[in-house]
């Protein structure tokens, strides 16, 4: 049976999403903490344990071992990607944190729009309206002389605010002395949009290089979610209409089960009663990033997938 779910929550944030209700990251502005206990980071031991539920990770680790490569070398930091993309590390870090924040905001909409344009991915009408609403509210606040809030600042403004605070620190000010105005964060690029697209392209290219080197041509991914009513029966197929440019999935069945069975968030917000795990197999070229090359939490085995067209996923299990 093919089910039509026009309101399936596939993007981070919002009840039903696997990443709703994240806590903040202590001592950091922007971003959010993992909801799973502990974080495997990039150690061989932790990744070996996680690979039991993640066949893709197992293949990546096998290739790394064959090349006598330390697992930490697999990780491409924001600073490393920034250097390749020709932007500053501060803008790169805040671009990553916007995704990890798991909230709807102007900066999150900016990120989705840039990805849609760079990769020919989905930027559906509901996201276009959302971005427009943020722009209108931003314009209203500026016209009224009001301070912008976390929903209405751009990624550049978030990064520059961080630079200004570093500038006030005697031990950190030398690291940002070259950034004298917000546009300096864009590095060799002439606009925020161009800088973001270069960073996104760098992330994607590195991800694809790693997957190709490991001989991975397709990946089975899962999505654990909570909904008000049961989606369907095991074996039914679901047509996913509400795609976005960047969508959160995982190749780990364990992670998906965690989110499908989660009754409350850390903030004690009660989640919808029905839990479902969706599963689909996609070409490796649809994988935008893994936790080791770009956006996404290592502890949640989160892979960010490019949303293109109408995917069909199977209902793997109900909870």
CA-based torsion, 303, 197, 11, 263: positive or negative: positive
Q: Is pLDDT at 168 greater than 60 in this prediction?
A: yes
More reliable by pLDDT, 156 or 4:
156
pLDDT for 71 equals 54
Is 313 in contact with 280 (CB distance < 8 Å)? yes
Q: Which residues contact 27 (CB under 8 A, 6 or more apart)?
A: none
- Band of pLDDT at residue 264, cut at 50, 70 and 90: confident
User: The whole model's pTM is what?
Assistant: 0.81
More reliable by pLDDT, 96 or 195:
195
**What mean pLDDT is predicted for residues 138-148?**
95
Q: Is pLDDT at 44 greater than 70 in this prediction?
A: no
Best-predicted range by mean pLDDT (28-42, 106-120, 215-229, 253-267): 106-120
Return d(Cα 250, Cα 200) in angstroms, integer.
Answer: 19
**What mean pLDDT is predicted for residues 137-149?**
95
Q: Is pLDDT at 290 greater than 70 in this prediction?
A: yes
Q: Is pLDDT at 116 greater than 90 in this prediction?
A: yes
Return d(Cα 248, Cα 159) in angstroms, integer.
Answer: 24
pLDDT for 157 equals 94
pLDDT for 45 equals 57
Q: Is pLDDT at 5 greater than 60 in this prediction?
A: no
At residue 33, φ and ψ (nearest 5 deg) are -85, 155
Structure tokens at 241: 């209409």
Q: Is pLDDT at 63 greater than 50 in this prediction?
A: yes
pLDDT for 271 equals 84
Residue listed under structure tokens 């995982």? 250
């Amino acid at each position: 049976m093919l089910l039509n779910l026009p309101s399936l929550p596939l993007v981070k944030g919002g009840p039903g999403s696997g990443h709703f209700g994240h806590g903040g990251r202590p001592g950091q502005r922007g971003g959010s903490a993992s909801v799973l206990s502990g974080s495997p980071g990039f150690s061989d031991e932790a990744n070996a344990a996680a690979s039991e539920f993640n066949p893709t990770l197992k293949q990546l680790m096998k290739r790394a071992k064959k090349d006598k490569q330390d697992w930490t070398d697999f990780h491409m930091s924001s600073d490393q990607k920034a250097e390749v993309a020709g932007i500053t590390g501060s803008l790169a870090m805040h671009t990553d944190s916007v995704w990890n924040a798991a909230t709807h905001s102007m900066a999150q909409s900016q990120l989705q729009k840039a990805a849609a344009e760079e990769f020919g991915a989905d930027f559906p009408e509901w996201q276009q309206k959302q971005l427009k609403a943020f722009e209108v509210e931003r314009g209203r606040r500026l016209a009224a002389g009001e301070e912008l809030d976390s929903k209405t600042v751009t990624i550049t403004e978030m990064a520059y605010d961080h630079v200004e605070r570093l500038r006030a620190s005697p031990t950190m000010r030398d690291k940002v002395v070259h950034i004298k105005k917000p546009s300096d964060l864009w590095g060799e690029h002439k606009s925020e949009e161009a800088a973001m697209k270069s960073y996104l392209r760098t992330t994607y290219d590195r991800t694809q290089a790693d997957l190709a080197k490991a001989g991975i041509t397709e990946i089975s991914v899962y999505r654990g979610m909570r909904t008000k009513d049961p989606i369907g029966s095991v074996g039914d197929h679901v047509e996913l209409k509400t795609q976005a440019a960047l969508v959160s999935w995982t190749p780990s069945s364990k992670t998906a089960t965690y989110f499908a069975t989660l009754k409350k968030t850390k903030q004690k917000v009660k989640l919808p009663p029905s839990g479902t795990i969706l599963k689909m197999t996609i070409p490796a070229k649809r994988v935008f990033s893994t936790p080791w090359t770009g956006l996404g939490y290592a502890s949640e085995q989160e892979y960010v997938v490019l949303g293109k067209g109408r995917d069909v996923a199977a209902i793997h299990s109900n909870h």
